[in-house]
Amino acid sequence: MNTKNIYSYSLSDLSAICSPSFRAKQLYNWLYVKYEKDFLAMQNLPKTLREQLSQEFSAQNLECIAQEHSVDGTKKYLFKTKDGHTFESVFLKMKDKKIDQNGKILESEKYTFCISSQIGCKVGCAFCSTAKGGFIRNLDSGEIVEQVVNLKKFNKIPPEKRVNIVYMGMGEPLHNFDNVVKAIQIIAELDGLSISPKRQTISTSGISPFIDKLGELKLSVQLAISLHAVDDELRSQLIPMNKTYNIENIIEAVKKFPIDTRKKVMFEYLVIKDINDDLTSAKKLLKLLNGISAKVNLILFNPHARTKFQRPDIQKVRVFADFLTNKGLLATIRESRGIDISAACGQLREKKIHLDDCVSHETTYKTTIKE
């Protein structure tokens, strides 16, 4: 039977289906606060509605077929869609809980979910392993939302716990504009997951007309630009789409983008050994971002098979970062997380997972990785 993905429905969409409309809020509570996936178990809904929902809809559209845990707390989940494609989502523990001698919590854990927006990608960046697999299809809004629900459920994250979402998994989010925007809105719904767009970051390779379009929606979503190069010649070699939407177009679009006064646009700069790791590039970057409320996140290139690029020398990256910071441009170096399980940026899909044992997400899967 062909069932519809319940996570593609906003609260107002569901209010039109469930009557009276307060039933939609109850349903949202089951789905997003209790993480319940079985409609028949939603006790406070009338039996007829439960039966109707379970015939027409599904809350099990992504099957977790494997998971891997890194020593640093990062977890990678391999999901299979109903039409048999696979993609990954990554759970990142950014900070551990800090407790004093008396057991008082000084600082709670911080989690970030790295979510996929497409299966594969059309952009074809020279350094990215996702690009090597080509493009298969867009994820629909429900498949995007369900990743967030599953990561919360699998990790027993209390509903009220704040988490951050980054659209930095597989795919180019702005190439799947409508589905990503709808997902952002569903994820932000106060009666549901209640993750504000301010906690959701879209990372893009820089499709300027869509940056404009996103800005016009005034969603308060955060923006990250994968810049990676300061001149068009190099950027076009790294990101072929730069021939259509070049650095100047991107900077113009960012200048127009509505930014929360307390926030900054993040410019991601992938540092590749002997390609863009020199101080001349740092100086050009400083000039390029002059007048923009920006911060720079330096990403050390994560090597993978089928690439000639190399990881830069960390000392050189520190010199690059210090130069920017000393000139007043905030620059951080992104810690590579989950590198031992290929969950770090650009490494998704690089290894094939062969399952020995996969029963439910509660099970610790035995996986063997073959290159």
- Feature table: binding site: 121, 125, 128, 171-172, 203, 226-228, 302
* Helices and strands (H and E) in the chain: how many: 11, 18
Considering only residues 198 to 227 of the shown chain, the ones binding ligand SF4 according to CB under 6 A are 205
- Phi then psi for residue 248, to 5 deg, are -60, -45
| Binding site as annotated, residues for S-adenosyl-L-methionine | 171-172, 203, 226-228, 302
Q: Is the dihedral of CA 220, 62, 29, 179 positive or negative?
A: positive
Number of shown-chain residues binding ligand SF4 (CB under 6 A): 10
Radius of gyration of the chain (CA): 21
Q: Residue from 142, 171, 312, 338 that binds ligand SF4 (CB under 6 A)? A: 171
Q: Is 114 among the residues that bind ligand SF4 (CB under 6 A)?
A: no
In this structure, how many other beta carbons lie within 10 angstroms of the beta carbon of residue 8?
20
- The size of the interface with ligand SAH (CB under 6 A), counted in residues, is 16
Q: Does 312 bind ligand SF4 (CB under 6 A)?
A: no
- Give the nearest distance from C-beta 77 to ligand SAH in angstroms: 17
* Window 198 to 217, contacts with ligand SAH (CB under 6 A): 203-205
Q: How many CA atoms lie within 13 A of 143 on its CB side?
A: 25
- 312: tokens are 């830069």
- Measured CA distances, 292 to 206, 256, 265 (Å): 16, 10, 8
Q: Cβ 271 to ligand SF4, closest distance in Å?
A: 14
**Contacting ligand SF4 (CB under 6 A), which of 92, 131, 166, 181?**
131
The burial class, CB within 10 Å (0-12 / 13-18 / 19+), for 63 is middle
Out of 119, 128, 145, 339, the only residue in the binding site for ligand SAH (CB under 6 A) is 128
Residue closer to ligand SF4 by CB (options 297, 367) is 297
Instruction: Rule CB under 6 A: say whether 247 interacts with ligand SAH.
Output: no
123 lies in the site for ligand SF4, by CB under 6 A: yes
Q: Is 251 in the site for ligand SAH (CB under 6 A)?
A: no
Nearer to ligand SAH (CB atom), residue 53 or residue 187: 187
Binds 131: which of ligand SF4, ligand SAH, none (CB < 5-8 Å by kind): ligand SF4
Q: Applying CB under 6 A, which of residues 121, 181, 193, 251 lies at the interface with ligand SF4?
A: 121
Helix, strand, coil percent content, the chain, rounded in steps of 5: 35, 25, 40
β 265-271/135-138 pair status? unpaired
- Cβ atoms of 349 and 133 within 8 Å: the answer is yes
The answer to whether 59 and 7 have CB atoms below 8 angstroms apart is: yes
88 is known as an active-site residue:
yes
Rounded to the nearest 10°, the torsion over CA 37, 41, 47, 52 is 20
The catalytic residues are 88, 345
Binding site for ligand SAH (CB under 6 A): 127-128, 168, 172, 203-205, 226, 268, 270, 299, 301-302, 304, 345-346
Binding site for ligand SF4 (CB under 6 A): 121, 123-125, 128, 130-131, 171-172, 205
